[in-house]
Amino acid sequence: MKLKLKKLILKKSKSKIVCLTAYSKNFSQILDKYCDVVLVGDSLANVLYGMNDTLTITLEMMINHAQSVIKGIKNSIVVVDMPKDTYSNTYDALKNAKKILKKTRCDAVKIESNNKNFHIIKKLVDSKVAVMGHIGYTPQFKKKFKVHGKTTNDEKKLINEAIKIQNSGAFSIVLECISARTSKKITEKLKIPTIGIGSSINCDGQILVTDDMLGLSGFYPKFVKKYSALNKIIEKAVQKYSKDVNKGSFPTKNNSY
Protein backbone atom coordinates (compact mmCIF):
# COMPACT_ATOMS: atom_id res chain seq x y z
CA MET A 1 0.00 0.00 0.00
CA LYS A 2 1.24 3.48 -0.86
CA LEU A 3 2.62 5.58 1.99
CA LYS A 4 -0.03 8.28 1.41
CA LEU A 5 -2.81 5.76 1.93
CA LYS A 6 -1.18 4.41 5.09
CA LYS A 7 -0.96 7.95 6.47
CA LEU A 8 -4.65 8.48 5.72
CA ILE A 9 -5.60 5.34 7.65
CA LEU A 10 -3.50 6.53 10.60
CA LYS A 11 -5.53 9.77 10.72
CA LYS A 12 -8.61 7.82 11.82
CA SER A 13 -9.97 9.19 15.10
CA LYS A 14 -6.96 11.53 15.39
CA SER A 15 -7.67 14.37 12.97
CA LYS A 16 -10.42 14.96 10.46
CA ILE A 17 -9.93 13.96 6.82
CA VAL A 18 -10.76 16.67 4.28
CA CYS A 19 -12.07 15.63 0.86
CA LEU A 20 -13.58 17.42 -2.14
CA THR A 21 -14.28 16.61 -5.78
CA ALA A 22 -12.39 17.94 -8.80
CA TYR A 23 -12.76 17.44 -12.53
CA SER A 24 -9.96 19.67 -13.84
CA LYS A 25 -6.47 20.97 -13.09
CA ASN A 26 -7.79 24.47 -12.34
CA PHE A 27 -9.70 23.18 -9.33
CA SER A 28 -7.37 20.39 -8.23
CA GLN A 29 -4.33 22.65 -7.83
CA ILE A 30 -6.32 24.75 -5.34
CA LEU A 31 -7.79 21.75 -3.51
CA ASP A 32 -4.36 20.13 -3.26
CA LYS A 33 -3.31 22.79 -0.73
CA TYR A 34 -6.05 21.87 1.72
CA CYS A 35 -7.45 18.39 0.99
CA ASP A 36 -6.25 14.97 2.05
CA VAL A 37 -8.28 13.36 -0.73
CA VAL A 38 -9.39 14.72 -4.11
CA LEU A 39 -12.11 12.61 -5.71
CA VAL A 40 -12.70 12.58 -9.44
CA GLY A 41 -16.35 11.77 -8.90
CA ASP A 42 -18.87 10.44 -11.38
CA SER A 43 -20.91 13.42 -10.16
CA LEU A 44 -19.26 15.18 -13.11
CA ALA A 45 -22.12 13.60 -15.10
CA ASN A 46 -24.53 15.99 -13.39
CA VAL A 47 -22.22 18.90 -12.69
CA LEU A 48 -20.42 19.23 -16.03
CA TYR A 49 -22.49 17.32 -18.57
CA GLY A 50 -26.00 18.13 -17.38
CA MET A 51 -27.01 14.47 -17.16
CA ASN A 52 -29.95 13.49 -14.96
CA ASP A 53 -27.95 10.80 -13.19
CA THR A 54 -24.50 9.20 -13.10
CA LEU A 55 -25.45 6.01 -14.92
CA THR A 56 -24.24 6.82 -18.43
CA ILE A 57 -20.89 8.45 -17.69
CA THR A 58 -18.18 6.48 -19.51
CA LEU A 59 -14.83 5.15 -18.41
CA GLU A 60 -13.12 7.31 -21.02
CA MET A 61 -14.79 10.46 -19.68
CA MET A 62 -13.64 9.64 -16.14
CA ILE A 63 -10.11 8.99 -17.35
CA ASN A 64 -9.96 12.23 -19.34
CA HIS A 65 -10.97 14.32 -16.33
CA ALA A 66 -8.70 12.40 -13.99
CA GLN A 67 -5.76 13.10 -16.30
CA SER A 68 -6.49 16.81 -15.99
CA VAL A 69 -6.95 16.65 -12.20
CA ILE A 70 -3.68 14.80 -11.58
CA LYS A 71 -1.74 17.63 -13.25
CA GLY A 72 -2.65 19.93 -10.37
CA ILE A 73 -1.83 17.48 -7.57
CA LYS A 74 1.35 17.33 -5.52
CA ASN A 75 0.20 16.14 -2.11
CA SER A 76 -3.39 14.91 -2.05
CA ILE A 77 -4.56 11.33 -2.60
CA VAL A 78 -6.43 11.14 -5.90
CA VAL A 79 -9.33 8.69 -6.07
CA VAL A 80 -11.29 8.03 -9.26
CA ASP A 81 -14.88 6.77 -9.33
CA MET A 82 -15.42 3.65 -11.40
CA PRO A 83 -18.55 4.17 -13.53
CA LYS A 84 -21.52 1.83 -13.33
CA ASP A 85 -21.10 -1.44 -15.24
CA THR A 86 -17.28 -1.14 -15.36
CA TYR A 87 -16.89 -3.49 -12.38
CA SER A 88 -19.78 -5.93 -12.84
CA ASN A 89 -17.41 -8.91 -12.68
CA THR A 90 -13.84 -9.49 -11.51
CA TYR A 91 -12.40 -9.60 -15.04
CA ASP A 92 -13.87 -6.28 -16.16
CA ALA A 93 -13.23 -4.67 -12.78
CA LEU A 94 -9.52 -5.49 -12.82
CA LYS A 95 -9.07 -4.59 -16.47
CA ASN A 96 -10.82 -1.24 -16.08
CA ALA A 97 -9.24 -0.38 -12.74
CA LYS A 98 -5.76 -1.03 -14.11
CA LYS A 99 -6.61 1.09 -17.15
CA ILE A 100 -7.61 3.98 -14.87
CA LEU A 101 -4.43 3.69 -12.79
CA LYS A 102 -2.16 3.37 -15.81
CA LYS A 103 -3.64 6.29 -17.76
CA THR A 104 -4.18 8.69 -14.86
CA ARG A 105 -1.53 7.75 -12.28
CA CYS A 106 -4.19 8.14 -9.57
CA ASP A 107 -3.80 6.51 -6.16
CA ALA A 108 -7.04 4.54 -5.89
CA VAL A 109 -10.46 3.83 -7.34
CA LYS A 110 -13.86 4.05 -5.64
CA ILE A 111 -16.55 1.40 -5.96
CA GLU A 112 -20.17 1.73 -4.85
CA SER A 113 -21.46 -1.23 -2.90
CA ASN A 114 -24.55 -3.17 -3.95
CA ASN A 115 -24.04 -5.50 -0.97
CA LYS A 116 -22.87 -8.19 -3.38
CA ASN A 117 -19.59 -6.99 -4.88
CA PHE A 118 -17.25 -7.56 -1.92
CA HIS A 119 -15.37 -10.15 -4.01
CA ILE A 120 -14.71 -7.42 -6.60
CA ILE A 121 -13.00 -5.27 -3.97
CA LYS A 122 -10.96 -8.23 -2.75
CA LYS A 123 -9.85 -9.10 -6.28
CA LEU A 124 -8.70 -5.55 -6.93
CA VAL A 125 -6.89 -5.22 -3.60
CA ASP A 126 -5.21 -8.60 -4.08
CA SER A 127 -4.05 -7.28 -7.46
CA LYS A 128 -2.47 -4.18 -5.82
CA VAL A 129 -5.31 -1.79 -6.69
CA ALA A 130 -6.30 0.41 -3.74
CA VAL A 131 -10.07 0.67 -3.27
CA MET A 132 -12.32 3.12 -1.45
CA GLY A 133 -15.75 1.69 -0.60
CA HIS A 134 -19.11 3.48 -0.66
CA ILE A 135 -22.33 2.57 1.18
CA GLY A 136 -25.67 4.15 2.09
CA TYR A 137 -27.18 6.08 -0.76
CA THR A 138 -25.34 4.70 -3.79
CA PRO A 139 -26.63 6.53 -6.92
CA GLN A 140 -25.36 3.85 -9.31
CA PHE A 141 -27.65 1.25 -7.74
CA LYS A 142 -30.50 3.17 -6.07
CA LYS A 143 -32.93 5.24 -8.12
CA LYS A 144 -34.74 6.94 -5.23
CA PHE A 145 -32.97 9.04 -2.63
CA LYS A 146 -33.52 8.27 1.03
CA VAL A 147 -31.64 8.53 4.28
CA HIS A 148 -30.29 5.15 5.36
CA GLY A 149 -29.75 3.65 8.80
CA LYS A 150 -32.83 5.05 10.51
CA THR A 151 -34.20 1.70 11.65
CA THR A 152 -32.44 -0.88 13.81
CA ASN A 153 -32.65 -3.45 11.03
CA ASP A 154 -31.19 -1.08 8.44
CA GLU A 155 -28.47 -0.09 10.89
CA LYS A 156 -27.40 -3.71 11.35
CA LYS A 157 -27.31 -4.27 7.59
CA LEU A 158 -25.14 -1.19 7.02
CA ILE A 159 -22.71 -2.11 9.80
CA ASN A 160 -22.39 -5.60 8.36
CA GLU A 161 -21.90 -4.21 4.85
CA ALA A 162 -19.20 -1.81 6.04
CA ILE A 163 -17.34 -4.57 7.89
CA LYS A 164 -17.42 -6.79 4.80
CA ILE A 165 -15.99 -3.95 2.69
CA GLN A 166 -13.23 -3.46 5.27
CA ASN A 167 -12.49 -7.18 5.36
CA SER A 168 -12.30 -7.21 1.57
CA GLY A 169 -9.35 -4.83 1.83
CA ALA A 170 -10.72 -1.31 1.22
CA PHE A 171 -8.55 1.43 2.75
CA SER A 172 -11.51 3.73 3.52
CA ILE A 173 -15.24 3.97 2.98
CA VAL A 174 -17.68 6.72 2.01
CA LEU A 175 -20.89 6.88 4.06
CA GLU A 176 -23.52 8.74 2.03
CA CYS A 177 -26.71 10.02 3.65
CA ILE A 178 -26.61 7.68 6.64
CA SER A 179 -28.21 8.68 9.95
CA ALA A 180 -25.96 10.22 12.59
CA ARG A 181 -26.50 7.33 14.99
CA THR A 182 -25.63 4.65 12.45
CA SER A 183 -22.67 6.52 10.97
CA LYS A 184 -21.27 6.87 14.51
CA LYS A 185 -21.59 3.12 15.14
CA ILE A 186 -20.00 2.25 11.79
CA THR A 187 -17.12 4.64 12.40
CA GLU A 188 -16.50 3.20 15.87
CA LYS A 189 -16.53 -0.39 14.64
CA LEU A 190 -14.25 0.07 11.62
CA LYS A 191 -10.47 0.23 11.67
CA ILE A 192 -10.42 2.11 8.35
CA PRO A 193 -11.51 5.77 8.03
CA THR A 194 -15.09 6.72 7.18
CA ILE A 195 -15.70 9.70 4.90
CA GLY A 196 -19.14 11.23 5.33
CA ILE A 197 -21.41 13.05 2.93
CA GLY A 198 -24.71 13.87 4.57
CA SER A 199 -23.77 11.47 7.37
CA SER A 200 -23.04 13.80 10.30
CA ILE A 201 -19.87 14.90 12.05
CA ASN A 202 -19.44 11.39 13.46
CA CYS A 203 -17.37 10.26 10.45
CA ASP A 204 -13.57 10.44 10.34
CA GLY A 205 -13.75 12.88 7.43
CA GLN A 206 -16.08 14.77 5.13
CA ILE A 207 -16.55 15.12 1.38
CA LEU A 208 -18.73 17.42 -0.71
CA VAL A 209 -19.09 18.08 -4.41
CA THR A 210 -17.01 21.23 -4.83
CA ASP A 211 -19.45 22.86 -7.25
CA ASP A 212 -22.22 22.42 -4.65
CA MET A 213 -20.32 24.07 -1.80
CA LEU A 214 -19.24 26.94 -4.07
CA GLY A 215 -22.77 27.69 -5.19
CA LEU A 216 -22.20 26.72 -8.81
CA SER A 217 -24.36 23.65 -9.28
CA GLY A 218 -27.79 24.82 -8.16
CA PHE A 219 -28.02 21.63 -6.07
CA TYR A 220 -28.32 22.44 -2.37
CA PRO A 221 -29.75 19.58 -0.29
CA LYS A 222 -29.71 19.74 3.50
CA PHE A 223 -26.25 18.22 3.84
CA VAL A 224 -24.55 20.84 1.64
CA LYS A 225 -23.23 24.02 3.22
CA LYS A 226 -22.79 26.70 0.57
CA TYR A 227 -19.49 28.41 1.34
CA SER A 228 -19.70 30.85 -1.56
CA ALA A 229 -22.07 32.11 -4.24
CA LEU A 230 -19.76 31.92 -7.23
CA ASN A 231 -22.72 31.79 -9.60
CA LYS A 232 -23.54 35.41 -8.69
CA ILE A 233 -19.90 36.51 -8.87
CA ILE A 234 -19.50 34.93 -12.29
CA GLU A 235 -22.76 36.43 -13.53
CA LYS A 236 -21.67 39.93 -12.48
CA ALA A 237 -18.35 39.51 -14.28
CA VAL A 238 -20.04 38.26 -17.46
CA GLN A 239 -22.59 41.08 -17.28
CA LYS A 240 -19.80 43.68 -17.02
CA TYR A 241 -17.90 42.06 -19.88
CA SER A 242 -21.04 42.11 -22.03
CA LYS A 243 -21.58 45.82 -21.32
CA ASP A 244 -17.95 46.66 -22.09
CA VAL A 245 -18.08 44.85 -25.43
CA ASN A 246 -21.35 46.51 -26.40
CA LYS A 247 -20.09 49.99 -25.38
CA GLY A 248 -16.84 49.47 -27.22
CA SER A 249 -14.81 49.93 -24.04
CA PHE A 250 -13.25 46.49 -24.42
CA PRO A 251 -10.73 45.75 -25.74
CA THR A 252 -8.65 48.86 -25.07
CA LYS A 253 -5.15 49.52 -26.39
CA ASN A 254 -3.83 47.70 -23.33
CA ASN A 255 -5.67 44.58 -24.46
CA SER A 256 -4.47 44.80 -28.05
CA TYR A 257 -1.25 43.91 -29.87
Instruction: Give the residue numbers annotated as catalytic, written as ranges.
Output: 176
Alpha carbon distance 174, 172 (integer Å):
7
Alpha carbon distance 158, 175 (integer Å):
10
- The pair phi, psi for residue 166, each rounded to 5°, is -60, -45
Where is 130: in which H helix or E strand? none
Q: Where are the alpha helices (DSSP H) in 52-140?
A: 59-70, 90-104, 118-126
Alpha carbon distance 65, 25 (integer Å):
9
Beta-strand ranges (E) seen in 11-75 are 17-21, 37-40
Helix (H/G/I), strand (E/B), else coil: 24: coil
Q: What share of the chain is helix, strand, coil (3-state, %, to 5)?
A: 40, 15, 45
Q: Considering only CA atoms, which of 50, 115, 48, 124 is closest in space to residue 86?
A: 124
